[in-house]
Amino acid sequence: MKKRVLACLLLLTLAGCASQSRPQPPAADTPPAEQPAQSSEPILSPTDYPRVDGSTANLPMMAAIRAAATGESPEQAEAMTTCRKTPEAWMALANGETDLLLVYEASEQTKKRLDEIGNELVITPIGRDALVFLVNDGNPVTGLTQEQLTDIYTGAITNWSDVGGAGASIAAFQRPEASGSQSLFMKLLMRDKKPVEAPTELRPEEMGGLVDSIAEYDNSANALGYSVYYYVSCMYGMDGLRLLDVDGVSPSSETIASGAYPLINEYYLVTRANEPANSPAAKLRAFILSDTGRSVMEQAGYVPLQE
C-alpha cells in the first residue's frame, strides 16, 4: 500500500498545486475566522503540523495535503502520514487524541459512542466516493442492479445463475460492523434491511484483506465483495479483479462526480467545535477548504464536491 500512496503523491508533484481560477465559497458551517486562504505557499512548518487522522482510503489525500501545506517532499509527507481506521479516528478526535479528520461517515454504532462523549464536532463534506462491488475476472457477470445486490446480501439470491452467471453459489464477503465501508454498505444499499450473517472467513478485518480474499478465494469466480472506489482504483487495486456496473452504470471519477453512479456518499473534514481560531488545525482546515486544497485533492485522484 505504501507504494500506491507514494505513486499518487508523485503524480501530484508532477502536476503541481496551482489554485483554480474560480473562488470556492466556504462551507456553510465555516466561521468567518476560518475563511480559506488562497496562497499556494507552505502555511505550516512540519513541527507545527496538527495531528491528522482519518480513513484508510484517505491516506493519499492526507499525505498530499501535508506535502502542499508544509512544503515537504512527497516522500517526506508519506513517511509522516498514518491513520487509524474510520471508527477509531472518529473516537480519537472526540477524545482529544487527534486534531483533524479526513474521514468517511461514522457508523451508527460509532455515532452513538460520539453522542455519549458529547464533544461537539464541526463536520464539513468535502468530496465524494462510492461503494463499489468486486468480482473475479473469471465471473461472467458484468453488472447487477441494487435490487439484485440487496437480494444477494439478504439471502434471497444465493446462486450466480439467478443473475446471469454460472451455476455456482455466491460467496458474499462483508466487512466488520463499524468499518467505514460497512457503514456505507448499510446506508447506501441495505438501508432498512438486515444482511445475512457472514461467516468469519467471509468477513476480513482489513480493507486490503477483502480485496485479497476475493482474488485468492478457493472458488474465486464465485466471490463477491465491496469497497470504496478510491481504495480499489488507486491504493489497492489487484490484477484479476473487476468492478461491477450497478443499475447499468460503471463506477468512475466522472460518474461519481456527476451523480450518475447510484451508490455515492460524501467524505468529511472534521474538527472539534472548540478549536481555537488560529490553531494549526484551524489553519489546515482553511487550507483544505481553499481552491488550493481542492486542487490538491483533485490532483491526488479524489472527487471534490462540485461547485
Could you give the CA distance from residue 114 to residue 228 in angstroms, rounded to a whole number?
24
pLDDT band at 200 (very low <50, low <70, confident <90, very high): confident
pLDDT band at 208 (very low <50, low <70, confident <90, very high): confident
What pLDDT sits at residue 179?
A: 82
Residue 23 pLDDT > 50, yes or no?
no
Could you report the per-residue pLDDT of 113-147, keeping only the tens digit for each?
999 999 899 999 999 999 999 999 889 999 999 99
Most confident of 30-34, 235-239, 265-269: 265-269
What pLDDT sits at residue 210?
A: 86
224 DSSP β-pair partners: 135, 172
Could you give the CA distance from residue 179 to residue 53 in angstroms, rounded to a whole number?
15
Could you give the CA distance from residue 211 to residue 231 in angstroms, rounded to a whole number?
10
Could you give the CA distance from residue 87 to residue 180 in angstroms, rounded to a whole number?
7
- Which residues are within 8 A (CB) of 277 and not within 5 positions of it... i.e. 6 or more apart? 31, 33, 34
DSSP 123-186: EEEEEEEEEEEEEETT----EE-HHHHHHHHHTS--BGGGGTS-S-B-EE----TTSHHHHHII
Across residues 66-94, what is the average pLDDT?
Answer: 96
Look over the chain and give the mean of its residue pLDDT values, rounded to a whole number. Answer: 86
What pLDDT sits at residue 139?
A: 93
Could you give the CA distance from residue 37 to residue 44 in angstroms, rounded to a whole number?
12
Cell triple for residue 111? Answer: 455515532
- Which residues are within 8 A (CB) of 142 and not within 5 positions of it... i.e. 6 or more apart? 242, 244, 245
What pLDDT sits at residue 240?
A: 85
pTM given for the model: 0.80
Could you give the CA distance from residue 204 to residue 200 in angstroms, rounded to a whole number?
7
**Helix (H) or strand (E) run with residue 64 in it:** helix 59-70
What pLDDT sits at residue 29?
A: 43
Residue 302 pLDDT > 70, yes or no?
yes
Domains of the chain: 2-127+267-304 (3.40.190.10), 129-258 (3.40.190.10)
DSSP 182-238: HHHIIIIIITTPPPPPPPGGGS-SSHHHHHHHHHH-TTGGGEEEEEEHHIIIIIS--
278 half-sphere exposure, CB direction, 13 A CA radius: 0
pLDDT band at 180 (very low <50, low <70, confident <90, very high): confident
Cell triple for residue 100? Answer: 483533524
Could you report the per-residue pLDDT of 82-116, keeping only the tens digit for each?
999 899 999 999 999 999 999 999 988 999 999 99
Question: pLDDT higher for 26 or 199?
Answer: 199
Could you give the CA distance from residue 220 to residue 128 in angstroms, rounded to a whole number?
30
Task: Return the HEC string of 72-86.
Answer: CCHHHHHHCCCCCCH
Cell triple for residue 240? Answer: 484479476
CB 95 within 8 A of CB 75: no
Could you give the CA distance from residue 66 to residue 69 in angstroms, rounded to a whole number?
5
Residue 30 pLDDT > 50, yes or no?
no
Q: Is 248 left (phi over 0), alpha (psi -120 to 50) or beta?
A: left
